[in-house]
Amino acid sequence: MEMAEKIRELIKQRKWAVFMTVCGCGGMLLIMISSLIPDKAEPVKAADSSCFSICDADSFCHETEQRLAAFLSDIDGAGEVKVYLSAGSSQRYIYAAEGRRSRSDSKTEEEEKYVMIGSGSEKSALVETVELPEIKGAVIVCGGGDDAAVRERMYKAASAALGISTAKIYVSKLR
């Protein structure tokens, strides 16, 4: 009970009201000052190539070719391996969007807008995902390409690694 009585006495005194007013004004002043200080972080731009390690279809294919060739060369009997990949298109950006629907008696209206980030002239659409180029086909030449068992292992390994059917893969002997 003593604590509750002390709090009531503080509230009744004028000093408490002045103290709370000064604290409130000080807090508001700090908030105002913080809005004047510029942010050090730069906004992320939607097409900024530094955000993504792979910038186009050619570099994606080249990197994937090197990794696949190194992987396939470990197959028994493969020997030296060279890989060529063809891609269907370059990478695609999927932007975040928000929408709303409204229905009335006889019609339905849909509205969809992209989510924007940044401020002023620095506004850009928010990138939700980046789709890598789609691999359309592969040509593999290897030292052991004349052996049917080696070719079969190459077809299966490349198909599994690239996620494409064996009909889109050609394996031959390296000259």
- 56-107 pLDDT, tens digit per residue, is 667 878 888 999 999 999 998 889 999 998 887 767 778 888 887 778 777 8
pTM of the model: 0.53
Q: CA 175 to CA 170: how far, in whole Å?
A: 15
Over the stretch 10-67, which tens digit does the pLDDT of each residue have?
Answer: 777 777 677 778 888 888 888 888 878 776 655 544 444 433 444 566 787 888 899 9
Over the stretch 123-163, which tens digit does the pLDDT of each residue have?
Answer: 888 888 877 788 889 999 999 889 999 999 999 999 999 99
Q: CA 168 to CA 139: how far, in whole Å?
A: 9
Q: CA 68 to CA 158: how far, in whole Å?
A: 8
CA-only gyration radius of the chain, Å? 32
Joined tokens for residue 93: 């950006």
pLDDT computed for residue 138 by the predictor: 92
Compute φ and ψ for 5, nearest 5 degrees. -70, -40
Q: How far is CA 162 from the centre of its chain?
A: 20
Q: With both helix axes pointing from N to C terminus, report the angle between 148-162 and 57-72 in degrees, rounded to the nearest 10.
A: 140
